[in-house]
Structure 1
């Protein structure tokens, strides 16, 4: 089970972008990866190519790439600090909890 969900605010705790924060755009649970806005930017060189509707522009473009889920830590909306995530059952519904202040995540 991934404890990080789409639209969570996270901080990168390891790798070349350590210390950066951003919002989770996509989650890939089978690959155990997440895509975070403004983190893990890769440079791609695109060749000019022809299609039915005309030429596609080439050049250098910067794209976001997925990052390992273990390298990010969610930021608690209540205490605004990076925290581990716990879980609890309340009336048959599972909730995520901040391990520091015990408040619920959305």
Structure 2
């Protein structure tokens, strides 16, 4: 599955309980079509002690969300935008904002 976002991109969540949160992507899973966004979709996981030295604990961690629930954040527009692609003079393919025509 082709994804419009990558690791370390600044994104804004557009639907769900965390709607409107601006954060960055920690991991991207293109085969599943999901992304792991920092401080978004926090779940509680109960860990059981597996060794004598370990303690049982309750851990809060991020869970993946569908990549369609996030939009790329444009710093110049200050909003979520749809990226488009073009080639620079040096031949590199870059993403740019359709709204303000700035490079992302």
Per the normalisation by structure 1, the TM-score is: 0.88
> In 2, distance between residues paired with 1:5 and 1:55?
38
Q: Distance in 1 between matches of 2:48 and 2:88?
A: 54
| Runs of 5+ unmatched residues, structure 2 | none
1:18 paired with 2:29, answer no
The aligned length equals 102
Equivalent-residue separation in structure 1 for 2:20 and 2:8 (angstroms): 18
Taking only aligned residues, the RMSD between alpha carbons, in angstroms, comes to 1.3
Instruction: Please identify runs of 4+ aligned residues in structure 1 that moved more than 6 A.
Output: none
Show the counterpart of 1:100: 99
Q: Deviations over 1:46-94 (max 9, x none)?
A: 11221xxx42111211111111100001111222211111111224321
